[in-house]
Structure 1
């Protein structure tokens, strides 16, 4: 559901039919004296908004728990929530339906994460699977090929910035500033909350730096190429069976290519995810004698997640990596 739904909602507004709290932009936190209404597109931003906003915000996430966020379709009610929000916090390129709603209904209340942090290019890798003599490419580029070998999707940037704790801290600061503009009376609280979150994120980042410092392997085979930021931050080498879109079906040639890399470089673990089928990863593992383990891209929290919130899943992912990469 793209712009057509937005047009229908706009027509309802013109006819005087309210969707949720109304049509057009939100009234603002100061107007009604209530909580700041924040709408987010994906779970990590929901967590961040709750942490930065604290008791002053009410957060609505457009992606339902357990749903895969990339191909989200919005209902008219959800589009109405975007139209009435005080702040719409999203990542352009991750969810086209959210992009459309934020552009057409969010107005000046829309905050793209790309306005707060630098995003890495989606096609940074080049997809050549080349390794230097020490077992890694010189620039540790990720392999982000999909079923056709080298197609990285339509997005110009890799949207999975939340797997980089430094970028999450920057996004927290940017969100605090925007919340302070929407709700000046509580601007100091938003800034203090963002600083607290940054400290917590820094602790997680330090744990990753120390935990991944000395490892027998630096190659991680993942179901889809969501871990480029993490790989860049900690000198790891991402080999994605599929590209940035987890729904892309890898070709038989790509499966054979990844299986060959697993055997060639002595990779002992193929990582599965929580929101997509483990079938492909299990097939590669069975063919190569590798094991499987969960590495959660944190696109949503489910019963299969190795934790119940962003920090706990990040720390569980570190445990999975240190075990799979044989870190000391």
Structure 2
């Protein structure tokens, strides 16, 4: 009889233990937040991780969901990572950039979720942001949104491997002005989540915004006078940057770096390169450079790196956001013939 009594008791104990585990997993301020008494922040990929580290400094413990060297668009989330998300005090992500992250965030039940897409304005940019009727070298006037582009309807579906929220371009961090707006929003979120250190978060936010303002000036001055305003890139990630500095991005593929261009697009780019005095085809560190090299060989152009800063690896031209952005500026100046 004692034996029979023990069985339900053991089962009950197991159920209680399971219930306690489930409660811990669902708790907003779980294990990540309580590590060394720091605020636990989970960032979906490098640009948001960098902002959180710069603003949070010693008060936060930042975990990144996208490991260095992984293409963020292709990220798959493990059940373990989804559970860890649920333990974060603050989650930072950019909606429509990484579908797997969007799903995991929705399931996580975290109270403090910051969608960087709501902190600044995302615009539509496609593989071709170029007004083919404009004269090169006219800065903003020679620049057109993709919606007004005579080729936009023809190529939109062909180049955009992912639907980024109704055709908007998620790569806002490549525009230092928009990135500064994101920084302010992240700073405000950290202040709200951890009011005890609000003064430090505010000071660090102001400092980061100041540095981004200086970077914006460097780009503005550095790209003011160039022989050409057009650059060709494998990954159409630079629409916001092009828009900011009056340049024309011609993407071989779309916002998804892995999509293959059509022969018609390759032919069109050869014509653009000739017409607009293009010297260089840019590729990025995280995706294959095969297409860039093919186009460069066919057109007699050089190749160089333009980094969309979706992750930092030992192949990156710099160790953080600012260093890589300055490398991008130098490479653009060289390709565009900056005076």
Q: How far is the alpha carbon of 1:266 from its aligned partner?
A: 2.1
Match of 1:223 among 210, 231, 234: 234
Q: Is the 8 A contact 2:32 2:84 kept in 1?
A: no
The question of 1:297 aligning with 2:308 is answered yes
TM-score, normalization: structure 1?
A: 0.88
Q: Is the 8 A contact 2:86 2:108 kept in 1?
A: yes
Gaps of 5+ in 2: 1-16
Q: 2: distance between equivalents of 1:252 and 1:150?
A: 15
3-state SS, counterpart of residue 59 of structure 1: strand
Q: 1: distance between equivalents of 2:180 and 2:321?
A: 13
Q: Is the alpha carbon distance of 1:74 and 1:133 closer, same or farther for their aligned partners in structure 2, counting shifts above 3 Å?
A: closer
Q: Is the 8 A contact 2:231 2:250 kept in 1?
A: yes
User: Which structure would you say has the larger Rg?
Assistant: 2
CA displacement 1:175-198 (0-9 Å, x = unmatched)? 111111111100111011000000
Q: Is the 8 A contact 2:126 2:236 kept in 1?
A: no
3-state SS, counterpart of residue 221 of structure 1: strand
Match of 1:57 among 26, 51, 60: 60
3-state SS, counterpart of residue 249 of structure 1: coil
Q: Is the alpha carbon distance of 1:193 and 1:29 closer, same or farther for their aligned partners in structure 2, counting shifts above 3 Å?
A: farther
Q: Is the 8 A contact 1:29 1:183 kept in 2?
A: no
Matched residue, 2:176: 165
Q: Is the alpha carbon distance of 1:237 and 1:17 closer, same or farther for their aligned partners in structure 2, counting shifts above 3 Å?
A: farther
Q: How far is the alpha carbon of 1:278 from its aligned partner?
A: 0.4
Matched residue, 2:156: 150
Matched residue, 1:242: 253
3-state SS, counterpart of residue 252 of structure 2: strand
CA displacement 1:228-274 (0-9 Å, x = unmatched)? 11001100000001111112111222122212211232211000100
RMSD of equivalent CA atoms: 2.6
Q: Is the 8 A contact 1:141 1:238 kept in 2?
A: no
Q: Is the alpha carbon distance of 1:32 and 1:253 closer, same or farther for their aligned partners in structure 2, counting shifts above 3 Å?
A: closer
TM-score, normalization: structure 2?
A: 0.85
3-state SS, counterpart of residue 191 of structure 1: helix
- Deviates most, 41-50 or 259-268: 259-268
Gaps of 5+ in 1: 1-13
Q: 1: distance between equivalents of 2:20 and 2:275?
A: 62
